[in-house]
Amino acid sequence: MKATIQYQSNTYVIDLSQPLDISIPLRATINNVNAWYIGEPKIEPVKTREWIGSVKAGGAVNFNNIYFNPHAHGTHTECIGHITEEFHSINKNLKQFFFTAELISVAPENYMKDTVISRQQIEVLLKGKTPEALVIRTLPNTKGKKSRHYSETNWTYLTEEAMVFIREIGVKHLLIDLPSVDREHDGGKLTSHKAFWDFDGERRMDCTITELIYVKNKIEDGSFLLNLQIAPFVNDATPSKPLLYKLIE
């Protein structure tokens, strides 16, 4: 099945039968991707005195409980409620699910003892394009991202200036293959989160940040249609399954 869309004054065709999944699935194993100093997720059958929710163990059906944290255990999408005192739900704030998107690959720059993604890098790579969604793949890009334990690794982050630029060009949805857009230990400042959502200005309630994605190397940088699929959790963040569709002229 094919469809046509318009982006940057051009008309493109997308093949809806060829989605490119950039999510990391959640697995009940120590090898699951992990961040924020907690253990691995658990998927376990429900047990009562008389019954177990496992066909293998003699039950009629598989009936599992799942214990996980969306911020720590896989691809997730968060709304401004992640950093506000008042409660805001991603399920309520995200009301549209298809967006024009640009995928860029960035080799982080050294900054003091850190590595960062700067405004200049993003501006150069976007080449004047102003997508609704920006997908950032950091380099080097290895399969190890799908099982990495990020705690105490001082991961790469985006500078506040980079986030202001992303906001000012109209990007409403940012996706990245890191556990956070901010520095791991920043004293709770969250400057990049706050810059993206314009926390101290006119807050962007319908904008989202998706973290811990994985974009395979065979997916080339360029223009896409993004389908941002989320689980309907009434929470600041939810597991998500972003799909890209290549735009064909």
For the chain, the structural domain boundaries read 2-25+74-246
Q: What is the CA radius of gyration of the chain?
A: 19
Q: Give the list of residues 6+ apart from residue 172 with CB closer than 8 angstroms, or none.
A: 99, 132, 133, 204, 206, 207, 208
Average pLDDT of every residue of the chain: 97
In single-letter form, the type of residue at position 88 comes to: H
Beta pairing, strands 133-138 & 98-106: parallel
Q: Looking at domain 2-25+74-246, which of 3.40.50.720, 1.10.10.60, 3.50.30.50, 3.40.640.10 is its CATH number?
A: 3.50.30.50
pLDDT given for residue 6 in this prediction: 87
* Residue indicated by tokens 């490119």: 20
| pLDDT of 182 over the 90 cut | yes
* Residue indicated by tokens 């735009």: 247
| pLDDT of 3 over the 90 cut | no
How many other CB atoms are there within 10 angstroms of residue 41's CB atom? Answer: 20
**DSSP letters spanning 88-154:** --HHHH----EEEEEEEEE-PEEETTEEEE-HHHHHHHHTT---SEEEEEESS--GGGGT-B-TTS-
Q: Which of 4-18, 39-53, 172-186 has the lowest mean pLDDT?
A: 4-18
H/E segment holding residue 223 = strand 222-230
* pTM given for the model: 0.97
pLDDT given for residue 82 in this prediction: 98
| pLDDT higher at 3 or 119 | 119
